[in-house]
Structure 1
Amino acid sequence: MNVQFINPFIETISNILATMASMTCEHGKPYLKEGENPLGVVTGLIPMEGDAVNGSLAISFNEDTIIKISSSMLGEEVAEFDDTCKDLTGELTNMLSGGARKLLWEGGYSFEMATPKMLTGDAPIVHHVEGPVVVIPFDTKAGEFYIEVVIGSRLKRAEVAGA
């Protein structure tokens, strides 16, 4: 996948966490994902549709990481993984997709994005659009999280099974 598709997601999540949670994040080397299981206990998934290409975006957090990010964003302690953490994952997904969409639009790529779908619970499956799923691992003082990006041809929309 072309870095011009990856960099907007890296730039956007870095800005979101710096602004909303007062924390920095470092990204690791992107890699191709194997399988369809989410990489965390809570995942936001959003389809992206454009004229020539389509794609999907997912952001996954483990329990500790989203609790700490939620606490930092809210300015109060979140003691356990709860609906607040799930709601903030949805908000982070929206902010990430909107910011990346703006940067991609500035690069000549126009996408529409839908409402994110949340995955939690027993054995959810992430169905991205056709194409390789690129995972970008991130590390923060709160812990690790992952962004998955697929930019592919207009074959099928992102779906969620088992959500």
Structure 2
Amino acid sequence: MHAQIIVPFLESAQQVLQMMTPAAMTPGTVTSATPDLQMHHVWIRIDLKGHMDGQVAFGLSPEMALKIASAMMGGFELSAFDEMSQSAIAELANMISGNACMQLSNSGFNFDITPPRVQVGDTITQPAQEIAYAVPLELQEMGIMEIKLLVE
């Protein structure tokens, strides 16, 4: 059951990123995964409360985060992963999660979400959850966004 909850996050990510970037996208398949978050990624984490408790985490390389944030700023080239680019990436995760939760609600799964938290490098705290599901979303010429559902 938990594995099916991640699918709307993948679909929503595709829809939102399609509006923001011209990149072609190739979704991967949902797999069981370790809950560990790679230290060399930018992670945006949002708590999920409701049908089940857990988190959704979006992981991407700092370079990919800058490319997406730049696209969200109307093509204005951002050169550092600073407060502005972190805010843009956090809003991206918020839009994806909000849309996914609406899709889940239509299927009878109700969730409340918290504001997104951006974590990079040394600020990354590993999740306490023991169960995780992951699905990659490749954006051509940008990189791969990893979407993880961390279940309590």
Normalised by the length of structure 2, the TM-score is 0.86
Unaligned runs of 5+ in 2: none
Normalised by the length of structure 1, the TM-score is 0.80
- SS of residue matched to 1:139: strand
Alignment of 1:39-118 (within 5 A): 40-50=40-50, 52-74=51-73, 75-118=75-118
Change (3 A) 1:103 1:131: farther
| 1:53 alignment partner AA | M
- SS of residue matched to 2:126: strand
Q: Determine what percentage of the aligned residue pairs are the same residue.
A: 25
Structure 2 CA distance, aligned partners of 1:127 and 1:23?
A: 30
Which of the two has greater helix per residue?
Answer: 2
Change (3 A) 1:18 1:35: closer
- Aligned partner of 2:24 in structure 1 is 24
**Comparing 16-25 and 101-110, the one that deviates more:** 16-25
- Aligned partner of 1:11 in structure 2 is 11
Q: What do residues 59-88 of structure 1 show as CA deviations (whole Å, max 9, x unaligned)?
A: 011011111111222121122332222112
Q: Which fold has the larger relative contact order, with Cα–Cα distance below 8 Å and residues 6 or more apart in sequence?
A: 2
Structure 1 CA distance, aligned partners of 2:48 and 2:42?
A: 20
- SS of residue matched to 1:80: coil
Give RMSD over aligned pairs. Answer: 2.1
